[in-house]
Amino acid sequence: MNTAFLNAKNDFLAAAKRTYESGIQTGTGGNLSVRIPGENLMIVKPSGFSYGQCTEDNLCITDFDGNVVMGGKPTRESTLHGNLYKRYPQIGGIVHTHSPYAILNSLNFSQVDLVTMHSELKLKYPIPVVDVATQAVTEEELPKVFEVIDKNPGLLALILKGHGIVTMDKTAVKAGQTAELIEETSMINWEQKKELTLEIDLKPALTEEQLDQRVLRDFEENHNRQFKNAITKLFPTKLIPVMLELGGIDPEKKVNSIEKEERKQFVHLIKHFRMTLTGLRDYPEAIITKGGVNVKEIDPGTMESKFVKGLYFAGEVLDLDALTGGFNLQIAWSTGYAAGNAIQ
């Protein structure tokens, strides 16, 4: 065995071991390959074997067209790997994993943004998503992959939509490390971009059973009135149209016709009022409200809770309010500054 083959073999086995131990690929999925320098040959993961099962005894060697030179059946991604080696001589190792967060991002976004300092230092570009129709990239779909790589010289990775990460580097070990970084970055990217929901208990002083009794009393007092006119004591005026729209009960319906299950669902809505957070409102709409966390329960120097270590409060969430004229904004900025300095 020549030195080039031994180095390629060691790189392959080291990358397989690291990828398996990292946990970014489970089962027998994913694939791995290493170019054998000076030869139009590559070592590829045998089909049906997990990364953890790769050993010297089951190595599979093929040419760049996927023809077996030694070993058993190669991974079905040999077409992609071989063509990448033929087209890009700088690539020495390729790792492909079915990493869940990367796949999740690929189904919802056109790229994974570099949201961490580490990813910005290591990767030149946001990780592009390539939409291919088949489970294994075919000859017909290769131009989609080539187009993305050619547009981004030095690109180390891409994500096949709904399929997984493909990383390329001088060695398979480096490609595997990049795959780990991309999965980590994908997780953070997803957490940043995923839809945020807020649930509010509009009647926190009452249990759901107590609230049901309260609503039932209001209904009995207004049993001949329309539903829209029977809930005026329950909510502020501006909130009533919202509750009528979401309540699941026809606003024109007579209260004495409302069924028990309808009432129960309406009570549940009041106790579990959900909304989707889409962004901040404009500055002119900003208002101050009274109430909040008791300032006696907070360290005034750091804004940290006296009861829960690592929990900080600032601004509107505190039980502080002042006259109009910028005072409330000053409270928000000052407490935010104190909390920020303490967290650092």
| Domain boundary, last residue among 256, 277, 298 | 277
Question: Are 184 and 296 found together in one domain?
Answer: no
Same-domain status, 240 and 101: no
> Are 124 and 155 part of one and the same domain?
yes
Residues 138 and 160 in one domain: yes
Pair 184, 204 in one domain? no
Q: Point out the domain boundary residue: 193, 216, 247.
A: 193
CA angle 241, 290, 331 (to 5 degrees): 125
Are 80 and 158 in the same domain? yes
Four-CA torsion 248, 251, 253, 257, nearest 10 degrees: 50
Last residue of a domain, one of 193, 209, 244: 193
Output Rg (C-alpha) for the chain, integer angstroms: 30
pLDDT tens string 210-254:
999 999 999 999 999 999 999 999 999 999 999 999 999 999 999
Q: What are phi and psi of 8, to 5 degrees?
A: -65, -40
The token pair at 276 is: 């989707």
CATH of the domain at 51: 3.40.225.10
Residue 236: give its domain's CATH number. 1.10.8
The two tokens of residue 158 are: 């891409």
CA-nearest of 112, 251, 273 to 181 is 112
What mean pLDDT value characterizes the chain?
A: 90
pTM comes to 0.60
Give the count of domains, the chain. 3
219 plus 103 within the same structural domain: no
| Each residue's pLDDT tens digit, 255-300 | 999 999 999 999 999 999 998 877 777 767 766 777 899 999 999 9
Contact at 8 Å (CB) between 317 and 297? no
The proportion of the chain whose per-residue pLDDT surpasses 70, expressed as a percent, equals 98
Q: Rounded to the nearest 5°, which phi and psi values hold at 139? A: -55, -40
Segments forming the whole domain that contains residue 338: 283-343
Residues 168 and 243 in one domain: no
Residues 271 and 304 in one domain: no
Task: Based on the fold, state whether residues 210 and 323 are members of the same structural domain.
Answer: no
3-state class of 231 per DSSP? coil
Can you tell me the distance from the alpha carbon of 109 to that of 292, in angstroms, rounded to the nearest whole number? 38
